[in-house]
């Protein structure tokens, strides 16, 4: 029996080197990059708490000890934080999830460590549960505006997801929030790098990846441009999570 949606933990993928944000990330991990005077992770925590999601499993690698030192078990924030370290070899987004499975349980949210997504997470979780599928990906009709579109989404279904091989029908993009059942990761290697893209593609091939379209654009700090945009929005009091300009 899968636990209630609000009890699903959030697997937050934050183990990468964040090379696109150098030189900022030469000495700190991406989650600690300052946005409007605070580490980005603090903003993510507020979003999750607002949605009633209070269990976070941080999949960390590069400079992850600095996050542990600053946020600990999350009790000061009113949440529970657990940590799953890649170890000496970075395991990739899928590999990090596989390593964290003992802490994640039967089903869980997946959030990227550079995504700021002011949406209703519980609605997405309910759509995942209703789908009966092993996974769900949120998508946004992007048309190449904010990043390269990588999803062919039609008639409520994900037909193709590919970041390398583009097809003309790709008008959507992976929005940055997903859900998986633990069984979706069975059969993958436990000690080698695995890309979450490959996991999603296998699910698409087996018609086991539901699609959920989001109407509001996403925000991210994965690039200097995205970081500057979100920083300015929040500093100017136009935080997209507080009913300000989108």
Q: Which domains does the chain have, with CATH numbers?
A: 5-238 (3.90.550.10)
Q: What is the pTM of this model?
A: 0.91
Across the chain, which has 246 residues, the per-10-residue mean pLDDT values are 75 79 80 92 94 94 88 94 87 93 96 92 95 95 80 88 86 93 93 91 95 90 90 80 42
User: In the block, which residue shows the tokens 């900022």?
Assistant: 24
Which residues make Cβ contacts (< 8 Å) with residue 5, sequence separation at least 6? 122, 125, 126, 129
Choose among 69, 204, 45: nearest CA to 133: 204
Q: Give alpha helix (H) positions in the chain.
A: 40-50, 64-71, 92-104, 121-131, 196-205, 224-235
CB atoms within 10 A of CB 243: 9
pLDDT of residue 3: 62
The tokens describing 209, both together, are: 């990846």
The β-bridge partners of 55 are 80
Contact 50, 241 (CB under 8 A): yes
Cα separation, 160 vs 224, in Å, equals 29
């Amino acid at each position: 029996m899968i636990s209630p949606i609000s009890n699903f933990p959030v697997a937050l993928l934050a183990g990468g080197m964040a090379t696109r944000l150098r030189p900022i990330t030469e000495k700190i991990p991406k989650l600690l990059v300052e946005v409007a005077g605070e580490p980005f992770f603090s903003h993510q925590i507020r979003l999750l708490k607002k949605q009633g999601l209070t269990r976070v499993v941080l999949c960390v690698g590069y400079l992850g000890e600095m996050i542990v030192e600053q946020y600990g078990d999350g009790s000061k924030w009113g949440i529970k934080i657990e940590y799953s370290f890649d170890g000496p070899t970075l395991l990739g987004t899928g590999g990090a999830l596989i390593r964290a499975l003992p802490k994640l349980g039967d089903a869980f949210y997946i959030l990227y460590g550079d995504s700021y997504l002011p949406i209703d997470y519980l609605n997405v979780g309910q759509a995942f549960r209703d789908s009966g599928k092993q996974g769900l990906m949120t998508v946004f009709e992007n048309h190449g505006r904010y990043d390269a579109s990588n999803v062919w989404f039609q008639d409520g279904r994900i037909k193709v997801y590919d970041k390398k091989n583009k097809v003309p029908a790709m008008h959507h993009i992976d929005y940055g929030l997903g859900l998986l059942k633990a069984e979706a990761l069975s059969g993958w290697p436990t000690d080698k790098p695995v890309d979450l893209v490959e996991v999603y593609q296998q699910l698409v091939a087996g018609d086991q990846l539901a699609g959920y379209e989001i109407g509001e654009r996403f925000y991210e700090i994965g690039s200097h441009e995205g970081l500057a945009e979100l920083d300015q929005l929040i500093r100017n009091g136009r935080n997209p999570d507080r009913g300000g300009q989108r």
